[in-house]
Amino acid sequence: MSSTITVTGIGGIPEISTGDDLAMMIANAAREQGTAIENNDVLVVTQKIVSKSEGAIVDLNDITPSQLAEEFATQYSKDPRHVEVVLRESKRIVRMDRGILIVETKHGFVCANAGVDASNVPGDEKLSLLPADPNESARRLREGLMLHLGCEVAVIISDTFGRPWRMGNTDVAIGTSGINPLRDYRGYVDPYGYPLTVSVAAIADQIAGAAELVAGKLDGVPATVVKGYEYSVDGHATAQALVRDSAADLFR
């Protein structure tokens, strides 16, 4: 394992619109700022620009709220249309209280508001949704980046999630391609001879969190390149591996 890992933000990416070639725009922005992207680098791209490029944007003027959305919104001074969009993007309501909606999305993620977000979206009446299939989005983006860059890279699509029992948010991986999102230490023995039986590291989440330190929330840096991390290349593993199976979830 390398003792040095660098994370560099890629700035200068223009505002993204539906149908834009996101891979080309990221590659061009990296070249213009002099950031080399090389074999085995990891590109971390925020969900927001992926959703924009895929047209995963909702106009609230087109939404008719349900009775449930109306009742919840009235009780907590929310926009019922926004609540309705969250409900439509949800497979299961985990908790709906104190003005907070914690749900399980159609992808299996448990998070606030099903990932529906109004930040960094032009227009007061627009919301962004999570990509329909973040892993497929990561696969397409990776193929495009390798075409434009001429090298092998891995791609992580990140989003910001809250965490039970801990304050503050952190970025996590919701889509991956070309990288095994987990590093399994089970079966290894630590320096003191203790056999590891349950240790599995969420590598893709850790990389996404590190990338967010550079990308920030307000700095207009929606992509980062991570160098020096020796990850396991996997053409089949996806970020779904990070979602705990319901049979192993003690809190479900």
Q: What is the chain's pLDDT, residue by residue, as a tens digit (252 residues)?
A: 667 999 999 999 999 999 999 999 999 999 999 999 999 999 999 999 999 999 999 999 999 999 999 999 999 999 999 999 999 999 999 999 999 999 999 999 999 999 999 887 888 899 999 999 999 999 999 999 999 999 999 999 999 999 889 999 999 999 999 999 999 888 888 889 888 888 899 999 999 999 999 988 767 899 999 999 999 998 789 999 999 988 888 877
Tokens of 88: 């439509």
- In eight-state DSSP terms, residue 219 is S
pLDDT of residue 2: 66
Q: How many Cβ atoms are within 10 Å of 241's Cβ, its own excluded?
A: 17
Task: From 91, 101, 103, 94, select the one nearest 71 (Cα to Cα).
Answer: 101
CB contact at 8 A, 39 and 229 = no
For residues 41 and 211, is the Cβ–Cβ distance under 8 A? no
- The full set of domains in the chain, from first to last, is 6-55+131-243 (3.30.1330.100), 57-128 (3.90.1660.10)
pLDDT tens-digit profile of 5-22?
999 999 999 999 999 999
